[in-house]
A and B are shown apart, each in its own frame.
Chain A
Amino acid sequence: MNSSYILLVIVIYVALGTWMAYVSRRGMGAGVTEYFLANRTVGGFLAALTYSATTYSAFMMVGLAGFTYKGGVGALGFELTYLSGLVLAVFFGPRFWLVGKRYGYVSPAELLGDRYESQWVAAVTTLVCLIFLIPYAAVQLMGIGYLLGGLSGGTIPFWVGLILATLLAIVWAWIAGLRSVAWTDSLQALIMLVTSILVLLFVIYRYFGGFGGFFVKLETGYPRWLSVPGPGFFNLKAYIGLTLPWFFFCISNPQVSQRLFIPKSMSAMRRMLGGFVIFGFIYTLVSVMWGFSTKVLSPDLARADLATPTLLSQPLIPDILALIVMVGILGAAVSTIDSILLTLSSMFARDLYKGLRPRASEEVELRLGKWVIPVISLVAMLFGWLRVGLISALSVAASAGLLMTVPAIFGAFFWKRGTASGAIWSMILGGAVTGFLYFSRIRPLGHWPAVWGGLVCLGAFIVVSLVTKPPLEKAEEFLGYLEDKLKEKNAL
């Protein structure tokens, strides 16, 4: 495809997004809660779109399509397991929202630090998130590099996509914090969904004459792709290793769980979660069908990551459609990265800096948070430059690391006996085991790092909590308040 067309479409996309980001500044107040949480006043529709765009990244259209291409229908089960994990948001959403309003929490790490009465818990949570989210952000940047390179036939080098996505994420997060992120996310979520459906329908009807013809070709040409373990990639141990962190994604990933603080009411949260699961189901099916379609049309690709660029480069796909989809994928990546940047910067300022200097003013905290945004982006960009491994495997490695915060989060809401030491050691030991197993590529008994890391993490949390003193007074007050309020709101 002609690279001048690609650049022209990107310029229009950047101009539109930047205009929206500036418009979102209207009526913006001052302070940390305003900047990082839009003052907890986001409506249901906007919240649903920003939640969707933040959760679904370039991984879906590039990585999941690649997973399907390589491993078949197991990719569908893998991603739908994540979606079913939204049931956790039904349990945790009202809890995060209620205590967020009562105690003024800005980040999930702050919530844990206060509940366990230890600034160290907040600091360690922040460090774990920084360590594991940077590869995840880098994956998004790499996705854009591959996409632009693939679509332009190599005319646009990998690093151009990388730098472009980094700059956009910085600017759109910087302009008005969560307000600009939420509005640009919404625009991008709509583009992502509409364009991906359009391409799918176009491919299915133009190349296969409809869904019936498509499934017949898939069943006759690639039957192994329709069962598990299928071609071999999705054996049961791999499936468990991949889905375990994915199931807990909505509470383990702080850029997503921080969204639980922002709805203006319980109805807004209901619309946010309800809207998201519908969006997610459609988007998952479409991404998987992209992977299957590419398998049938171009079965011998050298790398599964190239499935999407190859699909968009098919001769019968009109250039204009491929270009719009490219913007959809670019949007998916940027909307995830800017949310990660905003969340990590809020955690850095509130949970690391303010923990060290409790008397620091809100103004200083906010200024520091804003300056951390470009620093984290540059680190992620450098990581992306290294192009380590398969794009989707990297993404899952990040989620496996963040899984180590889950026992502490469960303990905060459901176990009075949980302690700060238990939370800290569970994250440190679980994170260390997961990181070591990923780097060394050792898989004891064939199980993936998330399984072993998760077991060590859970064990450490329970054992260390039982031998240390819990903050019982705080636990009684925190959980007592929640129990009363949850009854009032009729939430489980």
Chain B
Amino acid sequence: MFRYIVRRLFQLLPVLIGVSILVFVGMHIVPGDVAVLLLGDKGTPEALDRLRHELGLDQPVYVQYFHFMADVLRGEFGISLRTRQPAWTEVWLALPMTVELSVSAMLFASLVGIPIGVLAATRQYSLFDSVSMIGVLISVSMPIFWTGLLLMMLFGGTLHWFPIGGILDEGISLPRITGIHLIDALWQGNYQAFWSAARHLAMPAVALGSVSMATLARMTRSAMLEVLHKDYVRTARAKGLTERVILTKHALRNALIPVITVGGLQLGILLSGAVLTETVFALPGVGRLAITSLLARDYAVVQAVVLIAAVFIVMINLLVDLLYAYLDPRIHYA
């Protein structure tokens, strides 16, 4: 197993190098001269040339790429044009919001999706099965930015159950420890802030998690159906075990293996959804940072977000593979 992990980590190298080349090339051929963008209108031709030289923009492209890689490996992603802060700081400040949102969305997706799948499978062709599978089809097909808008209009605007956008109610202050509001609030024993943060997070998490919820429900249903027709389940029934024991101990445990894989891969997909969800609900996360930076031509920040996201996804995929091997003893990796 250890050797497998090491080998897989080495196999990641070409992919990560490819990612860096793609980002570098993309940001290199993006229209707009960085020196002009940095100096604005005040730039005399001499000052521009000096800055280009300082930034290394007058060197050959491959030299620039190696400088870029050296900087990235040291954690230097350049300076944000908008805030004049290091791009890495910008991403670091926005990251907890996205983590909080994605994890909540994943929790919602699993806690709702998996039970729906199990119930639908045990009652195949029942009314519940049909209704929930139609619901799943609709959830999968809904664009999440529209789901977000609908939730806001219905539960925020009309019913006033949940606040529309933002993170905390006005007047509540929460000193930053981790940046993850729910954890910070609990840590400081500030239950009012916790409640406020949870209420603000509810709709974005449901909107972002809806597609994954539907995917997990579908996946769980088909995996359960397959397992329920296996011989060992029939044996368990013949032995006279109760239906509950058969479902939880024999069927669900085996059915969950592919579901966990799909769930892990969903985490990567959630990152894309986070860009849209954060835009809809005005949450200061990485996704919104990426889009505002892109629209403001603040490419250093875009580059940092994209690189970090890609590394994150590659790691998640590796973890999912390892988890799969760990959970399913039938799989052997040499």
Q: Do A and B come from one complex?
A: no
List chain A positions with a Cβ less than 8 A from chain B. Answer: none
